[in-house]
Every structure is written in structure tokens, then in C-alpha cells.
């Protein structure tokens, strides 16, 4: 940080503590290992609780208007670039959400992981991931963000691959490949940004080439794509539906609840850095983001409706909800100085989705723990067996569907308001009104589809009478353990609190985060606190999606019931042509590239094995003692770990070389 940035702000060790506490806990977890599992689990939970306490203390200070920073110039690059921790209102808002989710997930994990293998590795990876994501939020430049972003991505690999089944290994490999591709795109964007702006800070100088040059769109595209991989935006989403179902449910809650929000956070920082350009350029950016957002939301919804596995449905739902979030960011860019409603809606939906989707994944984990089943049509009648889990699930799914009194209704109402504001602006001075009207229609369809798959999951899992075979399998099912209920219940309480008291959330979290950005109309920012969310103006907007979604659900279930009351098939399933698969086109593109570069896939395989052999040999000589302690793990994943580490090392080395030159 420069002297000008430090002036007027407060030096504090709290940001460093927020990152160090989970890192130290990770070391303690590994040191204790399997010798005292209760102590190990307790340390992980208490570390998450302590990190939450520190983050809350930071937020209380930062929301009063002063940035909190910790900078000892530990890492200085060139002139004026240093890796430092600094917390502004946006960072404080997201850090609080992340810390709450980690407390809930660690409470749930203490019971859920009891019968899992590699428990020490799981808890250590959870702690490292928390440290990385808090560090990512608590920086003020893209270089520092990149470092923590990549550490988070590599640590989360161990959460995805945890079960070590063939399915988990394939999902983890795809996740790692997409992480590396996204990292390369992000790093390229940061280099281009540095070249155009002359800084890696979030706010470029007003007259920099990034804001005025003819090629300013290049760093923007690279950075949005790099962050978009983690955010799960279409067509970069292919890792997400595979990774979420195979990861342990507490990890899935974090992957969906907050880790994909890390990508959204990066997109917000990128877009707001571009916010000072003339209105025509920022409107073009907004239209592009709105288009990507509505496509992402629609495709995620369609694919969620046709799923029969509970966790896979929630995974595709996360893709759809990320489309909603990105829609708010697009409206921010399109509306320009009047975009406070778009950014406020996007940030509120980050909060809403974190709580209701984290809660749904934890509740799904409780169901898996108690029934050993996640197929929706192999379950049924769980409201009698698991009444507390049923209540928790229903609270979260009502938030997902956007029903009044729950948090999703607030954020989705604000998003619809932002779309309407964009239509007014387009009608007043541009040719884009028809396109934005189509976006509003699609928004209604997507909201109806969300209600459809929300009702589908809830009815078939909890309230439909199970088949005779399912009844026998579920006969001995009992309620989930107390710690699992406590973790999910904490997030359910958040769903209710943000739904019943939207004014408090807006005033204490959202408005300070929105108001920190220059270029937004102060009146528009202040007006967020005056929104009467439960007026008829907003409530009427949910009636059409509710009628469409609930009506279609009733028709399909009645049709299935009339044919066979005990049917276990999915009346919501529909086929899609193979050419619509994004995975298929990725594979075809990769094969074409291999053919062009190596002449054949066999030649590529030989080259890959040679490279991996060199990397593996270097890794083996460097980490021999560590691998002897866990030989099966390291021998199996040495290639993946070494490849990720090599990527980060080369990236940082290249940055240093370019900076020095």
C-alpha cells in the first residue's frame, strides 16, 4: 500500500489474526492427527469460531468508515507494490459471511466425518481453505488476491478428491484442470491490467491506459474469465456439477455457499475498477454481463429440474443462482451512476445464497448420513423420521424459491427492481429496451423453474409416501446428531433473519459496501435503506412465478401418481441432445488441439508422461520424508499437486521478472 492509501486509515493486527488463526489450526490438526480425534475436531471448530470473532471485530470497526490494514512490507515487488492485508466494507461483509459458514460447516463436520477416512486431511484442508479465502477478501490489489485465490483453489482440491473413489478422482482432476486454466487467464489479465494501468491496485489512475486505451477490454475479458471459472458461470461451469456431489457435504456447503462467491467477488472488483470509463463503454459491459448472467441462470435451472440426485440438483441450482448474482453486477454496469440497486441486489444475493444453499447442502449431508441415500426417488416420508431436519430444509428451500419472509425473496425482489430500472434507462436513451424486456421474461421463467425443482426436492424427499422398498430401507432412520442440526440450524436462522429484517442487513452490511465505490449516486445508495420490500409492489412479482412453478409441479406429480402411486421414476426428467453438452465440446476441442500440436493423442500421452515423470521425480526428492508418512496419498496425487505448485511458482517468477525488467 502506498502512503496515500495508508493515510487516514487504521493499522491493526486483526486482519493478520483472521488469516493466521485457521492456518495455525491446520498445523495443530496435522500434529494431533488421529491420536486424539475429539481434540483435533475441537481445535478446528474453535479456530473457526475464533476467526469469526476476529472478523466480527474487524467488521464493526470497518463499517464505521475507516479501512483497517496490516502492512509490514513483508513482500515488496518493484516500487509501490506489496502484499498487504487491508479490509474495506465490501471485504468485511464477505468475510463475515464466510466465517459464519465455516463455523456451521465445522460444527456439522464433527459428526458427519465420524465414519469417513482421512479425517485429519479433511480438517486441515478446511482450515487452509478458510485462511486463503479470508486472505483473498482482505487485500486491496489483484496480485495479492491472485496469490490467495490460487491457494484456495489448490486447498479445495483435497476436499473434492476426499473420498478417493474413481468418480471423485475424475471430478477432482477436472476441477484442477479448470482451476489452472482459470488461473492462467487471471494471471494474463493481471499482467495486461498492470501494463495498462501501471498498478495492480483495485482502483486504476484516472488517466491510465486501462480506462482510456483502445485495448482496455482485453484485461477485463481475461480477468472475468479467470474469476468466472470459480464462479461457475456458463460455459466455465463444467467442474461444478461433478465436484459438489462427490465432496463431503460440509465441504459442498462451503464450495457452493462461499467458495464460488470468491469468483463473484473477483468479478465485482474487476467491474468496479472499470467503472470510471464513459457511460457508453460501461453500458456495453453491462449488457454483456447481463447476457452471460441470464444464460447461466437459465441453463442451471433447466439442468437442476431434470436431476434425480439431491446433491447434483443443488449443484446445478448453484450455477443458476450465480447467474442471478451476476445479473446484479451487470445491472450495476449498465445503470452506471444509478447502479447502486444492481450492486446492492448482487451483494444481498451473495448473502442470501450463502445461507440458504449452505443450509441445504448441510441438510442434504444429514440425510445422507442417516439414510445413506441421496436419490430423491429412493427416499420419502422423512418428515416423520427427521422432523428437525425437515424444518431446517423447508426454511432454506423457501429462501431458495424466493418466498416472502425468507432471504431469497429480498434479494430477488431487488434484482427484479434492478432489471426494471435498466429497462427505464434503455427506453429513455438506447435501443436495448426489447432485449431487457426479454431478460425480464426469462427472469420470471427461471424463478418459476426454481420453485419447481425446490418443490420437487422437498416433496419427494420429505412428504411423499415412500415405496414399500424404500420404507423397509428407511425403517431404522433417526434424526441427525445434535452437532449436525446445530450447524444447519445456524444457517437456517440466517435465512430467517435476513428475510424478516432486510432493513438491518441493508443498513449494516450492504449499504456501507455499496457506498464505498466512487461513481455511484449517493442518493441511490442511501435509497437502498428506504426500500419497502414487503410492499405490494414487490410481493406481486412473486405471484406469477409461484403460480407457474407450483402449477407445473402439481400437474407432473398428479400425472405420475395416476399412472403408478408407488412409481420411483422421475416425472420431471427430459432428454437433451448430446451436442448441447459443454463437456462434449471441451473434449472435442482438446482432441483437436492435441492433434494439431502433437499429431496424435498417443504422442501427447508420451509427452505428458515424460513431463509428469520429471515433475514427480523432483517432487519425490524434495518431499521424501513427508511422503513416507503418507505414501499412498502422495504417490497417488503427486502429479496433480506438483503440477499445481509448478504453475503458481512459474506464475510468480514471471511476474517478478516482468516487474524488474
Report helix, strand and coil shares of the chain as percent, to nearest 5.
80, 0, 20
Residue 619 to residue 635: CA distance in whole angstroms:
10
The confidence score (pLDDT) of residue 3 equals 41
What is the chain's Cα-based Rg? 24
Residue 189 to residue 501: CA distance in whole angstroms:
40
| Cβ-contact 230, 260 below 8 angstroms | yes
The confidence score (pLDDT) of residue 591 equals 65
Selection from 164, 163, 272, 292 nearest residue 228 by Cα: 292
- Residue 213's alpha-carbon distances to 192, 217, 224, 659, in angstroms, are 12, 9, 19, 21
The confidence score (pLDDT) of residue 631 equals 46
Blockwise average pLDDT, block size 10, the chain, 661 residues: 52 88 93 86 93 93 80 54 79 94 93 82 92 92 89 89 85 86 88 83 79 75 90 85 87 87 91 72 85 93 91 93 93 88 94 94 92 87 91 96 94 93 79 84 95 94 83 83 92 94 92 87 88 91 93 87 61 72 68 66 68 58 47 49 54 50 42
- Provide the angle, in degrees to the nearest 10, between the axes of the packed helices 14-32 and 37-62: 170
- Residue 311's alpha-carbon distances to 322, 361, 452, 485, 591, in angstroms, are 17, 7, 16, 18, 31
For residue range 227-285, list pLDDT tens digits in order: 998 888 888 888 888 888 888 889 888 888 888 889 999 999 998 887 766 555 678 88
- Residue identified by cell 469469526 is 52
The confidence score (pLDDT) of residue 626 equals 44
Selection from 366, 165, 153 nearest residue 246 by Cα: 165
Residue ranges of the domains in the chain? 588-660
Q: Determine the Cα angle at 295 with ends 291 and 301, to 5°.
A: 150
Residue 264 to residue 267: CA distance in whole angstroms:
5
- For 35, the 3-state DSSP assignment is coil
Dihedral pair phi/psi, residue 69, rounded to 5°: -135, 160
The confidence score (pLDDT) of residue 6 equals 47
Residue 579 to residue 585: CA distance in whole angstroms:
8
Amino acid at each position: 500500500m502506498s502512503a496515500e492509501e495508508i493515510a487516514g486509515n487504521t493499522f491493526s493486527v486483526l486482519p493478520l489474526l483472521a488469516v493466521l488463526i485457521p492456518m495455525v489450526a491446520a498445523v495443530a490438526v496435522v500434529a494431533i492427527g488421529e491420536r486424539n480425534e475429539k481434540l483435533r475436531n475441537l481445535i478446528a471448530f474453535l479456530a473457526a469460531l475464533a476467526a469469526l470473532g476476529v472478523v466480527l471485530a474487524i467488521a464493526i470497526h470497518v463499517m464505521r468508515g475507516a479501512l483497517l490494514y496490516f502492512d509490514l512490507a513483508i513482500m515488496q515487488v518493484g516500487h509501490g507494490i506489496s502484499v498487504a492485508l487491508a479490509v474495506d466494507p465490501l471485504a468485511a461483509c464477505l468475510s463475515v459471511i464466510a466465517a459464519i459458514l465455516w463455523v456451521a460447516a465445522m460444527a456439522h463436520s464433527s459428526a458427519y466425518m465420524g465414519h469417513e477416512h482421512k479425517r485429519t486431511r479433511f480438517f486441515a484442508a478446511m482450515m487452509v481453505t478458510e485462511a486463503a479465502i479470508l486472505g483473498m477478501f482482505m487485500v486491496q490489489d489483484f496480485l495479492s488476491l491472485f496469490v490467495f485465490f490460487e491457494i484456495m483453489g489448490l486447498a479445495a482440491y483435497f476436499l473434492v478428491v476426499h473420498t478417493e473413489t474413481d468418480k471423485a478422482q475424475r471430478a477432482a482432476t477436472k476441477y484442477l484442470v479448470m482451476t489452472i486454466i482459470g488461473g492462467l487467464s487471471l494471471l494474463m489479465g493481471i499482467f495486461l491490467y498492470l501494463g495498462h494501468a501501471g498498478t495492480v491496485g483495485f482502483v486504476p489512475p484516472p488517466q491510465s491506459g486501462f480506462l482510456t486505451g483502445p485495448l482496455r477490454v482485453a484485461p477485463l475479458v481475461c480477468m472475468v474469465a479467470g474469476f468466472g471459472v470459480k464462479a461457475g458461470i456458463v460455459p466455465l461451469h463444467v467442474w461444478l456439477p461433478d465436484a459438489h456431489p462427490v465432496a463431503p457435504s460440509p465441504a459442498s456447503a462451503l464450495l457452493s455457499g462461499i467458495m464460488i462467491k470468491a469468483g463473484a467477488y473477483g468479478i465485482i472488483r474487476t467491474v468496479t475498477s472499470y467503472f470510471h470509463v464513459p457511460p457508453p463503454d460501461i453500458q456495453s459491459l453491462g449488457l454483456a454481463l447481463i447476457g452471460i448472467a441470464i444464460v447461466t441462470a437459465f441453463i442451471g435451472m433447466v439442468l437442476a429440474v431434470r436431476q434425480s440426485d439431491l446433491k447434483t440438483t443443488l449443484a446445478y441450482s448453484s450455477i443458476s443462482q450465480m447467474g442471478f448474482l451476476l445479473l446484479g453486477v451487470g445491472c450495476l454496469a449498465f445503470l452506471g451512476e444509478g447502479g447502486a440497486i444492481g450492486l446492492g441486489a448482487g451483494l444481498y444475493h451473495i448473502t442470501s445464497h450463502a445461507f440458504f444453499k449452505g443450509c441445504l447442502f448441510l441438510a442434504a449431508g444429514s440425510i445422507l448420513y442417516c439414510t445413506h441415500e441421496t436419490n430423491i426417488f429412493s427416499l420419502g416420508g422423512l418428515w416423520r423420521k427427521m422432523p428437525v431436519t425437515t424444518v431446517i430444509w423447508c426454511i432454506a428451500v423457501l429462501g431458495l424459491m424466493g418466498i416472502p419472509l425468507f432471504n431469497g425473496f429480498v434479494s430477488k425482489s431487488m434484482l427484479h427492481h434492478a432489471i426494471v430500472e435498466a429497462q427505464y434507462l434503455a427506453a429513455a436513451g438506447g435501443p436495448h429496451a426489447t432485449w431487457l424486456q426479454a431478460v425480464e421474461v426469462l427472469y420470471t421463467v427461471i424463478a418459476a423453474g426454481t420453485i419447481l425443482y425446490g418443490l420437487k426436492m422437498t416433496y419427494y424427499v420429505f412428504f411423499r409416501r415412500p415405496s414399500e422398498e424404500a420404507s423397509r430401507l428407511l425403517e431404522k432412520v433417526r434424526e441427525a446428531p445434535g452437532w449436525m442440526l446445530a450447524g444447519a440450524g445456524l444457517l437456517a436462522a440466517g435465512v430467517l433473519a435476513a428475510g424478516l429484517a432486510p432493513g438491518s442487513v441493508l443498513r449494516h452490511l450492504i449499504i456501507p459496501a455499496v457506498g464505498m465505490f466512487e461513481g455511484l449516486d449517493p442518493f441511490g445508495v442511501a435509497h437502498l435503506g428506504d426500500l419497502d420490500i414487503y410492499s405490494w409492489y414487490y410481493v406481486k412479482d412473486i405471484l406469477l412465478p409461484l403460480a407457474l412453478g407450483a402449477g407445473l409441479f402439481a400437474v407432473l406429480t398428479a400425472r405420475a401418481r395416476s399412472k403408478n402411486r408407488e412409481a420411483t421414476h422421475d416425472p420431471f426428467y427430459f432428454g437433451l441432445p448430446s451436442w448441447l453438452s459443454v463437456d462434449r465440446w471441451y473434449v472435442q476441442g482438446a482432441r483437436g488441439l492435441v492433434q494439431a500440436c502433437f499429431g496424435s493423442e498417443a504422442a501427447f500421452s508420451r509427452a505428458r508422461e515424460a513431463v509428469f515423470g520429471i515433475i514427480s521425480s523432483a517432487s519425490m526428492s524434495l518431499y521424501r520424508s513427508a511422503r513416507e508418512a503418507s505414501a499412498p496419498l502422495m504417490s497417488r496425487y503427486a502429479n496433480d499437486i506438483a503440477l499445481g505448485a509448478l504453475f503458481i511458482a512459474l506464475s510468480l517468477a514471471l511476474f517478478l521478472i516482468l516487474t524488474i525488467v
